[in-house]
Each structure stands twice: as C-alpha cells, then as structure tokens.
Amino acid sequence: MNDWAEHAVARLDAIDDPGALGFLVGDGDWPFRGFVVRRDGDVVAFANVCPHARHPLDMLPDAFLTQGGSMIRCASHGALFRPDDGECLAGPCVGAKLLRLDARVDEHGTIYVRAPESLRDATLSGWSGL
C-alpha cells in the first residue's frame, strides 16, 4: 500500500484493555495524527481523522472509545466505528471507514505503526477521509 516508515508509538502496558492512545508522527505544522486501540488482547491503529468531518476524533486527549470500550466514537458528531476494522456503523458517515494502519507489538511490548511523517503525504490523497 505504501512505503511509510515504522514508528514506535507506545508501550503496550501504557494502554488499558480496552483502551486507546493517540500519537503524533513527524514535525512541523502537519504532523500525522493516529491512535492505537487495545481490545481483547488485540492492537489496531488508525489515522485520527473522521471520514465525515475530516478532523480528529477525540476532543479530549485519548478519548476515542465509548464507555466500556466497545466502539470508537467521533466526539464531534457521534459517529460510531467498529474497532477491529474502523467501519462506521452509526452517524453521518455510515459505511465509510477509518484509515487503518499496520501495527505490531514486538517482544519487548513496544507498539510499532507504519505511518506517514505528515498529513500532507501524497499517498493519503486517495483516501476519502483526508
């Protein structure tokens, strides 16, 4: 899909299960914003961009999940996304998907995510959420 670099973004033990944690990659005016979700022992990562309004999903830091952690929520418009694949199930963007990122946890518990250095990365132009 892309040639994005892999970035260490968090430690697994820093995220509750269920829980989520935001991260930034890159410097300058347009760093890439993403977040990691830990749920039922699995770790997935997404771009922190609502496909409906194209702004970050969290109004408060790391507030990505509904109470109980069963869904990802856009704080602005209440859209609800499935945490395993990012598909919107309720709200103004039903059927759209969050941009899922490749993520892995190494043997030391560090979470690595493949992500661009900037939201201005040309390879993101084909994704409707940006």
Q: Model confidence over 32-41: pLDDT tens digits?
A: 999 999 999 9
* Cβ–Cβ under 8 Å, residues 76 and 82: no
Q: Which amino acid is present at 66?
A: T
Check residue 4 and report its DSSP letter.
Answer: P
User: Cα 82 vs. chain centroid, distance in angstroms?
Assistant: 12
- Enumerate domains of the chain plus CATH numbers: 5-114 (2.102.10.10)
pTM: 0.92
Write down the residue that tokens 């190494």 correspond to: 106
Check residue 14 and report its DSSP letter.
Answer: G
Q: Model confidence over 72-120: pLDDT tens digits?
A: 999 998 999 999 999 999 999 999 999 999 999 999 999 999 999 888 8
What is the DSSP pairing of strand 19-25 with strand 5-11?
A: unpaired
Tell me the CA end-to-end span of the chain in Å, nearest whole number. Answer: 16
